[in-house]
Amino acid sequence: MRDYTKFYIDGKWVEPAAGAKTLDVINPADESVAGRISLGTAADVDAAAKAAHRAFQTFSRTSREERIALLERIIEEYKKRFDDMAAAITEEMGAPTVLAQRAQAPMGVGHLQTALNVLKNYKFEEERGGTIIVKEPIGVCGFITPWNWPVNQIACKVAPALATGCTMVLKPSEIAPFSGQIFAEIMDAAGVPAGVFNLVNGDGPTVGAAISSHPLIDMVSFTGSTRAGIEVAKNAAPTVKRVHQELGGKSPNIILDDADFDRAVSGGVRSVMNNSGQSCNAPTRMLVPAARMEEAINIARAAAEATVVGKPQDKVTIGPVVSETQFKKIQGLIQKGVDEGATLVAGGPGRPEGLDKGYYVKPTVFANVTNEMTIAKEEIFGPVLSIIGYKDVDEAVRIGNDTEYGLAAYVSGSDPAKIREVASRLRAGQVILNGAAPDLMAPFGGYKMSGNGREWGDHAFGEFLEVKAVLGAPKQAAE
């Protein structure tokens, strides 16, 4: 059993402040206790924020070359711990071994490498006549990260923050904290200067609120539910700090009539089921021509039935969802879909046959869904797809945009001009055409209630920089 009861503050592993409680971390595959962590308090956040504030005075003045060397060391140490990271993710949140090895853990090193590549050529200064526009590190950053892609969300914040000269305090999800612990060990082994990176475990209402409201923390970056993101913004408001939010989604997947229908429908099902449906950008609303609903049903049923659910260490497509709380929420929403009259195509309430322990959910597909139904409106965050019919492209776009969210959208079709035109009408931060692969340089973030700001690639750097205008700057003497 993992015992991770210390915090990483000011370059040392330290005991929590007085009054800290411990929390058992549950393995969702078998409901056993996999480890324990300490739940920090405002005092722990204060110690970490003060350490980061002190470290900022020197780290913010480091050269590009020094930060390049630091990121290179972190990448080297990450690669040494790659298998440990993948195993931790499987244990803490139930990702199948193959997903942890091929997607979850690689995203961590991917974001670090991307930040390194961007840093090498990023322009921190620009001359405009007699004025110099300077981009400087914003200061101490507070990071509150989720459990669904745990190291992905840690790395996509930490990497650009380090690259731009910021210091930070991280609170990983208390539900899936093991990967955060290993990440901190990687940072320590890489020789990150004391106070630059700090880790405090804890829950949202205590540690998350303390990070959001702390006067020495200059910006907070949060990934999670829209509800929690609103609380972060409220807590941050009195200190007028910058707030970056990557929140929920209910992404439309518009399949046009000229698409490769079998490929688009089956691919859409697989995309929703991936990671047990626990991705904020999952294409959970599939829009198909109403006249082809039965065809879509047959393809989607076959794809859902081909989705193998089981223990993460086995050769399965998906493992459990992360917790009992999530399991109960998903079960309630599946039942809601049945009660509201959607056609149950595959799956349904209850655990899959033969899986009586662990938080396993049947791969579920509903058809003949209307956009007013609960399952079409709420983010389920489980392996549940809603298929909605449309009469023409205008209606498909209207339905696609008829949501409070705007994180991602998907379009499939054979006419390049047509799918580009549909993409231009969708109110979402990222639009994926014909199942395009992820791009770590593509900005990631949402419109509307899906948040504000952007992560990934060079766009992420801007979240961690302040802009200073220096007017009347004298010309530097030629060397």
CATH architecture assignment, domain 252-433? 3-Layer(aba) Sandwich (3.40)
Res 477 pLDDT > 80: no
Q: What are 35-50's pLDDT values in tens digits?
A: 999 999 999 999 999 9
Tell me what pLDDT residue 479 has.
39
* Strand arrangement of the beta sheet that strand 384-390 belongs to: 343-346, 364-367, 384-390, 285-289, 252-255, 408-412, 430-433
> Catalytic: which of 92, 174, 280, 455?
280
Known catalytic residue at 280: yes
Q: Model confidence at 476, in pLDDT bands (50, 70, 90)?
A: low
Count other Cβ atoms within 10 Å, centred on residue 424.
9
Mean pLDDT of the chain: 97
Residue by residue, what is the 3-state secondary structure of the chain?
CEEECCEEECCEEECCCCCCEEEEEEECCCCEEEEEEEECCHHHHHHHHHHHHHHHHHHCCCCHHHHHHHHHHHHHHHHHCHHHHHHHHHHHHCCCHHHHHHHHHHHHHHHHHHHHHHHHHCCCEEEECCEEEEEEECCEEEEECCCCCHHHHHHHHHHHHHHHCCEEEEECCCCCCHHHHHHHHHHHHCCCCCCCEEECCCCHHHHHHHHHHCCCCCEEEEECCHHHHHHHHHHHHHHCCEEEEECCCCCEEEECCCCCHHHHHHHHHHHHHHHHHCCCCCCCEEEEEHHHHHHHHHHHHHHHHCCCECCCCCCCCECCCCCHHHHHHHHHHHHHHHHCCCEEEECCCCCCCCCCCCCCCCCEEEECCCCCCHHHHCCCCCCEEEEEEECCHHHHHHHHHCCCCCCEEEEECCCHHHHHHHHHHCCCCEEEECCCCCCCCCCECCCHHHEECCECHHHHHHHHEEEEEEECCCCCCCC
Residue range(s) of every CATH 3.40.309.10 domain in the chain: 252-433
CB 268, CB 253: distance < 8 Å: yes
Which whole number is the average pLDDT over 211-238? Answer: 97
Averaged over 272-294, what is the pLDDT?
Answer: 98
Residue 361, CA distances (Å) to 309, 311, 321 in order = 8, 12, 7
Average pLDDT over residues 88-111: 98
pLDDT of residue 138: 98
pLDDT, tens only, 214-223: 999 999 999 9
* Domain 2-247+446-470: CATH superfamily, name plus number: Aldehyde Dehydrogenase; Chain A, domain 1 (3.40.605.10)
Q: What percent of the chain has pLDDT over 90?
A: 98
Decide if 23 contacts 37 (C-beta within 8 A).
Answer: yes
| Spatial distance between the Cα atoms of 95 and 274, rounded to a whole number of angstroms | 10
Q: What is the pLDDT of residues 108-150, one digit of tens each?
A: 999 999 999 999 999 999 999 899 999 999 999 999 999 999 9
Taking the whole predicted model, whether its pTM rises above 0.75 is answered as yes
> Is 393 a residue whose pLDDT tops 60?
yes
Does the pLDDT at position 353 exceed 80? Answer: yes
| 8 Å CB contact between 426 and 385 | no
* Token code pair at residue 218: 């200059």
* 297-349 per-position pLDDT tens digit: 999 999 999 999 999 999 999 999 999 999 999 999 999 999 999 999 999 99
pLDDT of residue 474: 80
Which residue ranges does the chain devote to CATH 3.40.605.10? 2-247+446-470
pLDDT at 473: 81
Q: Which of 77, 91, 246, 379 is catalytic?
A: 246
